[in-house]
Amino acid sequence: MKKTSKPAAIIYLIDELKHQHEELRQQYGNPEKYRFLYFNSEQHFLEEVRKNPPPFNVPRILIFVVNRHLNTDSPVKEVTSLLQRLNQVSRGIEPIIITTQKTPETERKLKEAGALAVITDNENAMLRIDNLVKGSISKHTIWKKRKASKLTFRVLILYLFISLVFLTIAYFLFPDYF
């Protein structure tokens, strides 16, 4: 019987021009570690997330290359609109925005809209993306372990309380043994 392992993260890529596609597929193409899904438009991505919602027990990361939107009048408004629609469809997906033109004002507005990070598209972009993905996986792993430790602590407290109750009852029923 073949054991199927769940991926460490689900990584979505929206890149109309396939600018980052090959590098990211090479980096995150290992199906044993990651589930990598490529989309050529925001609409296809949102339809896929609506049809097949991602599980909540795995980190979900969206890498969105927004170079096409820079030709419009308000690129921040369009990307912010996508982030709002994404929050309505599926909460918990962490968007990483890659752009060629990043200003502090643009970065601030996109982070307020829910972006995890805004990265300038240069030779260091892959390194920053990799660090953010690994950081997100680590954060999610720590969250799961903290949740498990809280449950264990509650069970321990319950056990101690029940033991104390039984000892108290035994003290009053059998005072000779104490």
CB 80 within 8 A of CB 87: no
Residues near 72 by Cβ (< 8 Å), separated by ≥ 6?
78
pLDDT tens for 33-85 read 899 999 988 899 999 999 988 888 899 999 998 875 555 556 678 888 888 89
Report angle CA 14, 18, 22 to the nearest 5 degrees: 100
Higher pLDDT, 178 or 171: 171
pLDDT at 139: 93
pLDDT digits (tens, 9 = 90+) for 93-132: 999 999 887 888 888 888 988 899 999 888 898 999 999 9
Q: Is the pLDDT of residue 1 over 50?
A: no
**19 pLDDT higher than 90:** no
Whether 2 has a pLDDT exceeding 60, the answer reads: no
Q: In the chain, how many H helices and how many E strands? A: 5, 5
| Contacts within 8 Å (CB) and 24+ apart, 40-46 | 40/14, 40/15, 40/16, 41/14, 41/16, 42/14, 42/82, 45/12, 45/14, 46/82, 46/85, 46/86, 46/89
More confident residue, 163 or 24: 163
With beta carbons less than 8 A apart as the criterion, state whether 66 and 110 touch.
Answer: no
3-state secondary structure of 59: coil
pLDDT score, position 73: 54
